[in-house]
Structure 1
């Protein structure tokens, strides 16, 4: 190829890297929602893809995807669904409507709460989430007040399914295997916002892999701009 466009997105889910996070029954929100909806796990065994239909489900995170995961778990038959979020309701990044609908459906919010570790049984299935109460301190770089642990406030939630919904990052596969392709400290490819040109000649990039997790509209716009720039590059050979 004379040129190419990288649009691999930012679909690599983040985890907290705390003890017990690799127990059975713990999913990323990406996997849980993909299995439940796109791969039709709600029809299992008629559909090929299974998913744990937990009775006591904890969703860690406070964004729109966390609300989606919590409400989906309820529709999959959960008796109790907890949203565990380390800041207060005011700081939740989810849309107000999403939070309101989740509350209407009976989802229980454990705000100012942060998981410390997950515990499991002898078969390595998650059974409890050990959490700690938090209080809000000074604002951090995001402008939201930083959660500060309250000493001695640890408690446990009985759960059989945990869904981690604390954000996504860039998949490192392409940048890590492509010499000369520069990235920032988060692993996003460095590219010109108007043309999509990267540090490697002939390689263009756009969308979430460049700007981080955002919207389809922004990704489509980046693709259109890059297409024009790629056409110009192929015509002139000028980089």
Structure 2
């Protein structure tokens, strides 16, 4: 049975579900874009990777005006981040008509989280990599549209918690790149609605729900899996988490 027009954590709480069901599985994903938190990020022409790729692919902005989803890239696009989604954004910007498409990343290629084949294909298609570079401000024109990004050069220091060397700003190394579109692809956070509606539910640093190897949370009968537990990952891992939790829930209900 599928129930529509329900927002768990808003129109109904997990505790209310537990009044009617013996177990609940939370799989609300990690669709909340992570931002750079620099001045000018609210200018027109600054997109999260989620919005940009959704507009172009699902809403068919590539076929505007046959489909009423405008998405103007302009001559120069810059993507911030270096994961698989960032490579997708940079390559998509070229297909949307950009003459230049940059990947701007604060570390070196060695530290990029994207798969090697994604990086290879991006280079093959003409994406320009500006490494050891970090944005510090988006600059807009009089109409409130982005026209440039102010960056600072970086150097690598000691490894941080991720095991990668920490990027450190180089004083007095600021410079400006003229761009028409900024695509922020530095990751996604878990949907906070359900965790925030259950104060007793234990979460990790980035807001993902803490679970054991079977997907069980600290609350009896409440399980979670996929991106809400791991942070943004792959469909395969999410499917695997669902199967593990299903077995664990079956055992839990038979006790």
Same fold per superposition (TM over 0.5): yes
Match of 2:67 among 27, 36, 47: 47
Aligned to 2:234: 215
Q: Does 1:88 align with 2:89?
A: no
Match of 1:180 among 200, 203, 228: 200
1:12 to partner: Cα distance:
1.4
Q: Does 1:57 align with 2:77?
A: yes
1:199 to partner: Cα distance:
2.2
For the aligned residue pairs, the C-alpha RMSD in angstroms reads 1.4
Alignment partner of 2:120: what SS? helix
Match of 2:32 among 7, 12, 19: 12
Aligned to 2:15: none
Aligned to 2:127: 107
Aligned to 1:162: 182
Aligned to 2:223: 204
Match of 2:51 among 12, 26, 31: 31
Gaps of 5+ in 1: none
Alignment partner of 1:45: what SS? coil
Work out the CA distance in 2 between the residues paired with 1:4 and 1:179: 17
Q: Does 1:79 align with 2:99?
A: yes
TM-score, normalised to structure 1, is: 0.93
1:220 to partner: Cα distance:
0.9
Match of 2:243 among 213, 224, 232: 224
Gaps of 5+ in 2: 1-19
TM-score, normalised to structure 2, is: 0.88
Moved more, 126-135 or 217-226: 217-226
Work out the CA distance in 2 between the residues paired with 1:151 and 1:225: 50
CA deviation profile, 1:76-111 (whole Å, cap 9, x unmatched)? 000111110001112111122211221122211111
Alignment partner of 2:101: what SS? strand
Aligned to 1:116: 136
Alignment partner of 1:162: what SS? strand
Work out the CA distance in 2 between the residues paired with 1:49 and 1:203: 40
Work out the CA distance in 1 between the residues paired with 2:146 and 2:68: 24
Alignment partner of 1:8: what SS? coil
